[in-house]
Amino acid sequence: MVIILIQIIIVTVLLSLTIISAFRSNTFKNPITLINLWWGGWLLLSSFGFYHLFIPSTNTYLYILGNISFLTLGYLLVLGRGTVNSKQSYSKAFELKNLKLFNLVQLITLFIMLFFAIKGIKIMVTQNITPQEYRGYVFKGYLTDPLYGSNFIFLFIHYIVKGFILVNSMVCTFLYLLRKKYYRTFLISIANLLLLSAFMVSRIDIFRYIILILIFFFLARKLNLKLEVNINIISKKVLTYFSFMIIILFIVSYLRAGQVFKSILVYFTGPFIALDTFLEQYNIQPQIPLQFGRATLGGIDDIIVLIIRRFNDTIVSTNYKLSFLSDAISIGESQTYNAFYTMFVNFFIDGNVFGSLLISFFLGITISLLFVKTYTNPNIFVLTLFIYILHMVIFGSLRWEFSSGWSWIVLFLLVIYKKLFFKSSKNLNNFKGGKNLFNSC
């Protein structure tokens, strides 16, 4: 009881300092505020037990809040009372080179996705299977033959093609908002994203895209971006495509769960209940030993193990060891859930509570360093990289995306794009760090 009381006091103090820091600075233009509001909002909703969902235990709430607090501390440690002296708008730094080659890559991806989307529809119609059953063909390697034909094609689609689509959807949308001349390039990237979602009968990639765009608008004024698309009176065409994505998201939710709002609430609060179940079971009987980084870097671990297994098939990846997380568990009355356990389940598996707090702390430092870099060396590469990492932390309320190989492919492709397609830029702004830990930029 004393230990729990001490935990509550520590977490309360940390969160209070975080809130005070956020509101003493530029409030809703501060990335760490966005993270705290997102996590805090869904945590609050999870505590009401809507639709007869289970309510996570106090210890699980303390564990999550403690990690968010340490992430915030890491963020504030770098920025301190830092100030950014903006000399000029740097939107001119956002340009592409080798545009024809860039669009050619997109068109090749488009034809690949058209082929597989048509093939997927044909399988559903001819075999008379439900969307849920069809997803077994899409995501499970041992069912590759009817849809992909081989495991190599399965890996190619899920790693390389998906990586291309996600990189292009980010880059092309940001470029279009900053430069209207990239309108056609933007349309191709959106077509690819919609085909990917339709092919996989998945809402997660559309939701990811929406989060990325919302972060972009959230940071637009803070980053002094001069947009050619008016964000006060948004282009009707952009609004049309954005609305179409929302509709697709709702349709997929309806097809998979039948009740849209219940589906959304379960989708975003379920991970906290799942994490609670995992922590409770782990305290009784640890399912696997500590992995010391392999779970947090699961995507890299997958790729390395895939290569090693060519020579030694006894080696298995950490993700394989964690495959039991994909089993359905009960999170409420007549409600099951699987796969999403928040990003903190990966951190916990790597280092238990202490290791998890440490990983969160360094993640906060990484975000703040990228935030500064986005000011001091502005271009499409650093902007996309920063928003991508920031969205990973927000998306972490569902799961840790860096446990998937495609997420690292995205980073690898961004580096290639930097050399091949992105124009360089000079430092346009200055950054001065400060001494006060609890007064952020």
Positions in the chain short of pLDDT 70: 1-29, 80-93, 141-145, 229-260, 424-441
Residue 67 has a pLDDT of 93
Residue 144 has a pLDDT of 59
Give the dihedral of Cα atoms 64, 67, 68, 74; nearest 10 deg.
180
CB-based burial label for 149 (10 Å; 0-12, 13-18, 19+): exposed
Structure tokens at 393: 């932390």
247 to 135, 165, 217, 265: CA distances (angstroms): 20, 20, 21, 17
Residue with tokens 């608008």: 217
53 vs 231: CA distance, rounded Å:
38
Residue 30 has a pLDDT of 74
pLDDT tens by residue, 204-221? 888 888 889 888 887 877
Residue 440 has a pLDDT of 38
Rounded (5°) CA angle 259-260-261: 100
32 to 10, 152, 195: CA distances (angstroms): 19, 40, 33
